[in-house]
Amino acid sequence: MQQNARIAVIKGDGIGVDVADATLAVVSAVLDRVGLPGLNIDEIAAGAGYFRDTGRDIEPGGEERAAESDAIFMGAIGLPSVRHADGTEISPHLRLRDRFELYAGVRPVRAYPNAPQRLADPRAAGIDLVILRESTEGLFYSAAVHGRSQIIGDSEVRDTLRITRSICERLHRFGFRLAEKRKARGGKGLLTCVDKANVFASMAFFRKIFDEVRPEFPDIATGYNYVDAQALDLVRQPWAFDVLVTENMFGDILSDLAGGLVGGMGMASCAEIGDHHALFQPAHGSAPDIMGQDKANPLAAILSGALMLDYLADRTEFAAYADAAKLIDEAVMAGFSANRLRPMEFGGDMGTRAVTREVIDLIGESA
Ligand code: ATP
Ligand code: MG
């Protein structure tokens, strides 16, 4: 008897709702295509709109249900017009990231034919890398929990860059395993440690732990880059990289830079993975400027749905989901190659629903 995974779905605000619906439709179609039962969806109300209506950012019991699920899928959260009394944004997802120790932020960056391409060099068509961003400590350590920044009157403010052995060992192992997995599918088998080990003791420690973990993975080639040089290299020769593992703030900046080289926000998928929980969402926000107009590109969310199926497939009871994840990735690639995916975000004629239908058609046609 095949099991079906239990997914907590937080559609959230603005276009989050549309792109989450698009993803659920695609996932349901692909599971049907490979002959697997659909996901068991537990929808949880949360977000800025929910906060405006109820004074809570997530429904009572919602976090506990998310904790019990096999994975969490999120559309997008936040509306500029709705804030806490102190001016900060409504962000239950940041609390979930902290509570569930989702330390491995996975940000794939891939070039698609007929999608915007900023680099003229023909090798840019081969851009296919992943930025692995540590997501619970680093320079965001102070920012993650309100009150951690050290404010000394009106004369000085200190934020802390924290690197711990415990998180770093797991992060680097995650990076090596990801490089192995990609190598098995034709990837370069290369993991690059991106830091600033020449200047910061914390970053030297980050690299030291990378070197300690390295011998466990003899089949993976390794490289080192200081973050400033990496920024230059991401513009000069992004096709030379495979998996980049880095500190929280560096990963935040580099993933926007790399995302800008190919496509745009509507293509940026994201996974946030811990040892016991994982959250999948597009990297973009709720985009209130285009909400409710069927204009949002749902592909970032749909590709995040593929990341979710692939994550579930790493557990034996859900191993068959790997085929479904692959089918989604191939459908998106084939759709761009044949110029059948023309999102409005890239000046095309296809809104959210049309892109979603086309992906479902492409999945149906796959051999
Ligand atoms: P957040 O603070 O939540 O990251 P943000 O202010 O960075 O939000 P986003 O919502 O990520 O803003 O998007 C910025 C702009 O990019 C949007 O206003 C929208 O015009 C465009 N955009 C974002 N996502 C998409 C998408 N999926 N399809 C089309 N355009 C998008
Ligand atoms: Mg943003």
Tally the domains of the chain: 2
Q: Kindly state whether residues 237 and 278 are assigned to the same domain.
A: no
- pLDDT at position 150: 87
Cα(294) to centroid(ligand 1), Å = 14
Q: Judge contact between 133 and 278, C-beta under 8 A.
A: no
| Residue 35 Cα distances to 29, 261, 323, angstroms | 10, 37, 10
Does ligand 1 have an atom closer than 6 angstroms to the CB of 251?
Answer: no
Looking up tokens 């973009």 gives 284
Q: Kindly state whether residues 195 and 128 are assigned to the same domain.
A: yes
Give the end of a domain, one of 262, 279, 295.
262
The pick from 284, 293, 353 for probing ligand 1's pocket by mutation, whose C-beta has the most ligand atoms within 8 angstroms, reads 284
Q: 34 in a domain, yes or no?
A: yes
Q: Kindly state whether residues 6 and 67 are assigned to the same domain.
A: yes
DSSP letter for 215, please. G
Q: 61 in a domain, yes or no?
A: yes
Helix (H, G, I), strand (E, B) or coil at 312: helix
Q: Furthest-apart CA pair in the chain: how many Å? A: 66
- pLDDT at position 1: 43
Looking up tokens 């946030």 gives 272
Q: Compute the 3-state secondary structure of the chain and give helix, strand, coil in percent, each to the nearest 5.
A: 45, 20, 35
Q: 107 in a domain, yes or no?
A: no
Closest ligand 1 atom to 298 CA: 27
Q: Kindly state whether residues 226 and 128 are assigned to the same domain.
A: yes
Using alpha carbons, select from 65, 46, 77 the residue that is nearest to residue 7. Answer: 65
Helix (H, G, I), strand (E, B) or coil at 121: coil
Residue 263 corresponds to which tokens in the numbers above? 């496509």
In the chain, % of residues over pLDDT 70: 99
Residue 357 corresponds to which tokens in the numbers above? 């239908």
CATH number of the domain that residue 2 is part of: 3.40.718.10
Give the end of a domain, one of 262, 287, 304.
262
CA angle 274, 278, 284 (to 5 degrees): 115
Q: 135 in a domain, yes or no?
A: yes
Edge-to-edge strands of the sheet including 40-43? 40-43, 6-12, 71-76, 278-282, 269-273, 104-110, 128-134, 243-246, 190-195, 221-226
| Regions of the chain with pLDDT less than 50 | 1
Q: Kindly state whether residues 134 and 238 are assigned to the same domain.
A: yes
Q: Kindly state whether residues 96 and 128 are assigned to the same domain.
A: no
Q: Kindly state whether residues 150 and 238 are assigned to the same domain.
A: yes
Q: 110 in a domain, yes or no?
A: no
- pLDDT at position 146: 65
Show Cβ contacts of residue 272 under 8 Å, excluding neighbours closer than 6 positions. 97, 102, 104, 105, 106, 135, 278, 279, 280, 281
Q: 18 in a domain, yes or no?
A: yes
Residue 119 corresponds to which tokens in the numbers above? 């680099």
* Exposed/middle/buried for residue 68 (C-beta within 10 Å: 0-12, 13-18, 19+): exposed
Give the end of a domain, one of 247, 262, 277.
262
Q: Kindly state whether residues 1 and 134 are assigned to the same domain.
A: no
Q: Kindly state whether residues 57 and 186 are assigned to the same domain.
A: no
Does ligand 1 have an atom closer than 6 angstroms to the CB of 263?
Answer: no
Domain that holds residue 303: 1-102+268-367
- pLDDT at position 124: 96
Closest ligand 1 atom to 345 CA: 29
Q: Kindly state whether residues 122 and 258 are assigned to the same domain.
A: yes
Show Cβ contacts of residue 68 under 8 Å, excluding neighbours closer than 6 positions. 6
Does ligand 1 have an atom closer than 6 angstroms to the CB of 290?
Answer: yes
Does ligand 1 have an atom closer than 6 angstroms to the CB of 266?
Answer: yes
Does ligand 1 have an atom closer than 6 angstroms to the CB of 286?
Answer: yes
Q: Kindly state whether residues 40 and 126 are assigned to the same domain.
A: no
Q: Kindly state whether residues 134 and 92 are assigned to the same domain.
A: no
Q: 308 in a domain, yes or no?
A: yes
Looking up tokens 């992060």 gives 171
Q: What is the rounded distance in angstroms from the CA atom of residue 73 to the CA atom of residue 41?
A: 10
Using alpha carbons, select from 61, 65, 92, 76 the residue that is nearest to residue 6. Answer: 65
